[in-house]
Amino acid sequence: MGSSRWKVAAAAFLAILGSLLPVDADEHEHTYTDKEEVVLWMNTVGPYHNRQETYKYFSLPFCAGSKKTISHYHETLGEALQGVELEFSGLDIKFKDEVMQTTYCEIDLDKAKKDAFVYAIKNHYWYQMYIDDLPIWGIVGEADENGDDHYLWTYKKLEIGFNGNRIVDVNLTSEGKVKLVPNTKIPMSYSVKWKKSDVKFEDRFDKYLDPSFFQHRIHWFSIFNSFMMVIFLVGLVSMILMRTLRKDYARYSKEEEMDDMDRDLGDEYGWKQVHGDVFRPSSHPLIFSSLIGSGCQIFSVSLIVIIVAMVEDLYTERGSMLSTAIFVYAATSPVNGYFGGSLYAKQGGRRWIKQMFIGAFMIPAMVCGTAFFINFIAIYYHASRAIPFGTM
């Protein structure tokens, strides 16, 4: 009787566990089955010459496809804090299912919409999209040689490479140049072509890396110039220190030959004064020790994040670098407490609980205050990187 109860309980547990586990492949797992939906996310749009000035894609009067809207939830803490808010394009894309050129919507172009597109084209606006976390870039439009007429690219030609059941490559070709004329309808179309690729899933982000950065182009003249400059400065500082030390040593040896009555005990100079300045207790030991502890923590966070970035490919996931830095900062809190608390105790401090709270919250409070102010300005200008106050 008891064994049957255990079997029933185990079966129920496995059934509940199986219901909680995802069974369908998607962009989170980066694996797909045939005819499975592939989501095209629209990210930002902004001027090419100022990559930091970005707005939501649909802040321009683009139209979306007729497919049902899918909400995008923040996958990571870093993605949420960076203000990444992807919007569904409404395009119907399925894995390995090719789509011929199809019109998905029409833009009813009035004067206000035309002016918005003309402003974007004059400022060389470009937009960014994502398919399976792979970024895609495209240009809004272009002007003629005289700059009088402006044209909008209306045809998105997508070519997606796959290796097995994974997407490894995405290319966009913008075609269908249409002149902007008020009180007209502009059809927006797209097509999808799938092709096999030999690119491994682990290497699919290599095409986005700057190849010139990894080439061994050594600027020997610049290195030699910097090296000689460092040697010159080190030699200059060493000569000044040697002259100062030589004079101090001469005075010290002269004082040793004097009697105690002839020696002026109040006359301290040279390195004796430096000794007093260095080992003098701080006038605000609580703040000083908290800053030292926070500095040691920030140094350890920077070192660990650099090592993790060298080992792992953090650039392949949106917001992963910021998420890693936040978790490492929380994990290295004992570093702050150890160095800050020990320095505070050496200086005779007794309010160690207050020092612990100040050391833990001083730097985060300063960062959050600055970020809150900048985010308020970003919200005022409707920037895409603005973080909702609820998220903050």
Q: DSSP string spanning 166-229?
A: EEEEEEEEEEEEEE--SSEEEEEEEEEEEEE----GGGTTGGGS-HHHHS----HHHHHHHHHH
pLDDT in tens, 58-71: 989 999 888 876 76
The dihedral over CA atoms of 365, 368, 373, 378, expressed in degrees to the nearest 10, equals: 180
Average pLDDT, the chain: 81
Which residue would you say has higher pLDDT here, 281 or 17? 281
- Which tokens go with 229? 């400059």
pLDDT above 60 for 130: yes
Average pLDDT over residues 26-55: 85
Average pLDDT over residues 343-353: 86
- Which tokens go with 107? 């833009």
Quick one: pLDDT at residue 272? 61
Q: Are 285 and 303 in contact (CB under 8 A)?
A: no
Separation of alpha carbons 212 and 124, rounded Å:
25
Q: How confident is the model at residue 241 (pLDDT cuts 50, 70, 90)?
A: confident
pLDDT above 60 for 269: no
Quick one: pLDDT at residue 73? 58
Which residue would you say has higher pLDDT here, 24 or 103? 103
pLDDT above 70 for 9: no
pTM of the complete model beyond 0.85: no
pLDDT above 50 for 21: no
Q: Are 361 and 302 in contact (CB under 8 A)?
A: no
Q: How confident is the model at residue 264 (pLDDT cuts 50, 70, 90)?
A: low
Bridge partners (DSSP) listed for residue 336: none
Average pLDDT over residues 147-156: 90
In the chain, % of residues over pLDDT 90: 31
382: region left, alpha or beta (phi > 0 left; psi from -120 to 50 alpha): left
Average pLDDT over residues 236-261: 73
pLDDT above 60 for 217: no
- Which tokens go with 61? 């009067």
Quick one: pLDDT at residue 26? 59
Q: Are 168 and 135 in contact (CB under 8 A)?
A: no
The SS3 assignment for 331 reads helix
Which residue would you say has higher pLDDT here, 133 or 211? 133
- Which tokens go with 248? 């101090």
H or E element, residue 356 = helix 352-380
Quick one: pLDDT at residue 392? 64
Rg (CA), the chain: 32
